[in-house]
Structure 1
Amino acid sequence: MPVLLDLRGAKSSDVAVGTSPISELQACLHSLAEPDHHLESRPWLTGIGESMSPGLGHRLTRFAPLWARRRCRLLLPLSPPLDVDMATELDRVSRLPENDFVAAAAYAVQGGSFDPRGAVTRPGEFVAACEARSFSRGELARSLIDDPGDFRRVLVRTLEDSVDAFFAKEWERIHGRLRDEVEQTRSRLRGLPLAEVLSSVSPAARPVRDGRAVRFDKLQNLTVPLGGNPVFLVPTIHGRPHLIIRGEPGFPVVLHYPVAWRGQPPSIDEVRQRLTILSDPARLSLCRHMVNEAITTSDLARRTGMTRPQVSRHLAKLRSAGLLTSERSGRYVYHRMDVHHLMGIGVELLRVIVR
């Protein structure tokens, strides 16, 4: 089930690349709400959780549906330009027309298939749909419908308190890295076809239809037309591994894409290949011998009862998957499992599942 960006009628001049502090704050709040999706951020998340005041923690828990499974469109850039400060982005949230605010919040609060515009036209059905999902979503939905103004004021104040409590310091730390990514993407936008630029933001993307569309491997079945619409490319550090694509009518199209890790993150096909290679019983037997010590092909053959050619073929497979290191010492070549990459398979699998 892909997300397809339809590039017919779209021009590179329609695309803006820049930073968005409110988008990065939402990514941080998602990490706090879903820490199992962000194992590499666990120490930072633990520190934030331990230092947070109980009052702010309670409000973040109350509003968590806004940034848990789905990201709230309110907390992505609402209008140009990009590269503005947090106060400007929060002011845009505060000034959004009430019906637009309610619909944008409703999409994330319900988190299912209910049409968010129904929160305005059929509020009773919207609250019931949220209650069917969970008690907390139902309570949050009711507060949105009963008093949208108070809902908005408390939400904005919660975001401001989050900035003061932890985000301002973190934004200062990561802003330079995000700016570097922005400049790199702007450079690609000036020199490459639009389909290649959009595909470059994720290993889960590729141009299709002779460059007239870009396909993203996501758990959605969605087509987003870019022609005639402003498009924002916004990099994120705390949002990785998630790639967020939003194209609601009335708002700019947003691709909130993760800054790459050191090295290119694996594609789902690469992770599948590694799991397939490791699933072979003979290779698993070899791995058990090589995980604690470096060992030669001949010794592996003797210990496992395989022939040397059989061992060599299995070692070649493990090496092709990046799971084996080999080092010559005199006449012999010693093989050992790359434990760091072996342990990373679980994290890589999680990343491609939640991307």
Structure 2
Amino acid sequence: MSVTIDITGLPHERITFSPSPLAELGAALHALSEPAHHARLHAWTTTTAAALKPELADRLHEADFMWNSTRSDILLPSSPRGTLAEELDDLDRMDDEKYVGSALEISCNSKYTQGAPSPLVDERMRRRTLDLAAARGPRQVAFVERMLADPPGTRAWVRRLLEDCDEAFFADTWCRVRVQLAADARHKTELMRRKGLAEAVADASPAMTLVEDAAGSRIVVDKLLQGRASAVGSAVTFLPTAFGWPHLFALYAPGWQPVIQYPVPDREPGGVASVEAVTRRLEAVAHPMRMRLCRSLARGSSTTSELADAYNITAPEVSRHLAVMKKAGLVTTQRRGRYVLHQLDVAVVARLGSDFLESVLR
């Protein structure tokens, strides 16, 4: 079984490798929703979930059918942009029928990949969508009813949710992974130029192959499902992801340009630290006072004076401890007017071990 994308006669200029902030946010939301799928991201999912405000966590739960079991097509843009805002603007220009059909595809529209009509225009499909939603509980029924009754209002709600996720955690995460993703996309593009598409496709994932024979050219994605799409006269977009492993997504629904999201080799956001760096970090947090400072700095930014008052030590003592933690890469510093604020880089600490992080956040 496989997903097959026909690219017969498609020039290589129409085959693009590029990172997408919206696609990466979708992958991150899936990891938060299904952490068991992503054991390698345990530190990140634990840290991020613990830091979410209850109101945002509730809204994510309300809409998580768009990314929990798989990924809605609206989260896999075929024309990646430099910023999340630009990609959300592109999404706003999509017509309601296509948007709603895609948003509800995973749990409410089992005929979606067969080109079924949108529930906005087909009464039978509308009833089927509501019936399937009912099997998943009142929260999902309410959301689906709202989307069918007021597509523009619900779309605006979804956009605000994604923007709030960006502000809460994704903007910092994207800053860490986008360089890695851009470098991988450049490498694949150069590989395609020098050695051909077959090499680039194989380098992206061993589960993908380029088949060229008398019937034409096609990209075959090895998956436990059957699907076909044609990119003839269109294009194919490959989206690298740091959060996607072990998933390999292929967008092949009728009316959509084919998109493939593949995991990059280094799957841990933030990369792999050297032994020397790990040693410095372990030594930094081994001191009892620095462990206590971690607890405060994990919950928010603080000035040196605030930390000195909180732990009844002098400001110079705090500064010496902070200097050790900064050298180890555990603390970030930001100036705000005449104040200098310090905060724990929780993602870095998380990579030291979840038990330590949980004790700090307890």
TM-score calculated relative to the size of structure 1: 0.69
Residues 294-334 of structure 1, C-alpha deviations (whole Å, 9 max, x = no match): xxxxxxxxxxxxxxxxxxxxxxxxxxxxxxxxxxxxxxxxx
Give the secondary structure class of the aligned counterpart of 1:119: coil
How far the C-alpha of 1:134 sits from its partner, in A, is: 4.3
- For 1:238 and 1:193, the matched residues in 2 are separated by 27
Q: Is it true that 1:175 corresponds to 2:178 in the alignment?
A: yes
Of residues 231-240 and 115-124 in structure 1, the stretch that sits farther from structure 2 once superposed is: 115-124
Give the secondary structure class of the aligned counterpart of 1:200: helix
How far the C-alpha of 1:85 sits from its partner, in A, is: 0.6
How far the C-alpha of 1:125 sits from its partner, in A, is: 2.6
Q: Is it true that 1:236 corresponds to 2:230 in the alignment?
A: no
- For 1:261 and 1:111, the matched residues in 2 are separated by 34
Residue 303 (structure 1) aligns with: none
Q: Is it true that 1:42 corresponds to 2:42 in the alignment?
A: yes
Identity %: 30
Structure 2's unaligned 5+ residue stretches are 268-362
Give the secondary structure class of the aligned counterpart of 1:212: strand
Two-structure CA RMSD over aligned residues (Å): 2.0
Of residues 10-19 and 52-61 in structure 1, the stretch that sits farther from structure 2 once superposed is: 10-19
Give the secondary structure class of the aligned counterpart of 2:101: helix
Q: Is it true that 1:2 corresponds to 2:2 in the alignment?
A: yes
- For 2:165 and 2:108, the matched residues in 1 are separated by 23
Structure 1's unaligned 5+ residue stretches are 263-355
Residue 192 (structure 2) aligns with: 189
- For 1:35 and 1:111, the matched residues in 2 are separated by 25
Cα contact 1:14–1:230 (8 A) shared by 2: yes
How far the C-alpha of 1:207 sits from its partner, in A, is: 3.2
User: Which among 254, 261, 265 is matched to residue 256 of structure 1?
Assistant: 261
Cα distance change on mapping 1:177 and 1:187 into 2, 3 Å: same
- For 2:203 and 2:53, the matched residues in 1 are separated by 40
Cα contact 1:5–1:213 (8 A) shared by 2: yes
Cα contact 2:197–2:210 (8 A) shared by 1: no
Cα contact 2:235–2:257 (8 A) shared by 1: yes
How far the C-alpha of 1:94 sits from its partner, in A, is: 1.8
Cα contact 2:244–2:263 (8 A) shared by 1: yes
Residue 24 (structure 1) aligns with: 24
- For 1:53 and 1:65, the matched residues in 2 are separated by 20
Amino acid at match of 2:259: V
How far the C-alpha of 1:173 sits from its partner, in A, is: 0.8
Cα distance change on mapping 1:126 and 1:246 into 2, 3 Å: same
Following superposition of structure 1 onto structure 2, how do residues 47-66 of structure 1 map, counting pairs within 5 Å?
47-66=47-66
Residue 141 (structure 1) aligns with: 144
Cα contact 2:109–2:132 (8 A) shared by 1: no
Residues 192-229 of structure 1, C-alpha deviations (whole Å, 9 max, x = no match): 33344223311112233548223222121011222112
Amino acid at match of 1:85: T
Q: Is it true that 1:129 corresponds to 2:132 in the alignment?
A: yes
Cα contact 1:237–1:258 (8 A) shared by 2: yes
How far the C-alpha of 1:245 sits from its partner, in A, is: 0.6
Residues 3-37 of structure 1, C-alpha deviations (whole Å, 9 max, x = no match): 12223222212112211100000000000000000
Residue 104 (structure 2) aligns with: 106
Number of residue-to-residue matches in the alignment:
260
Following superposition of structure 1 onto structure 2, how do residues 147-296 of structure 1 map, counting pairs within 5 Å?
147-210=150-213, 212-261=217-266
- For 2:232 and 2:202, the matched residues in 1 are separated by 17
Cα contact 1:60–1:158 (8 A) shared by 2: yes
Cα distance change on mapping 1:202 and 1:71 into 2, 3 Å: same
Cα contact 1:106–1:119 (8 A) shared by 2: no
Residue 306 (structure 1) aligns with: none
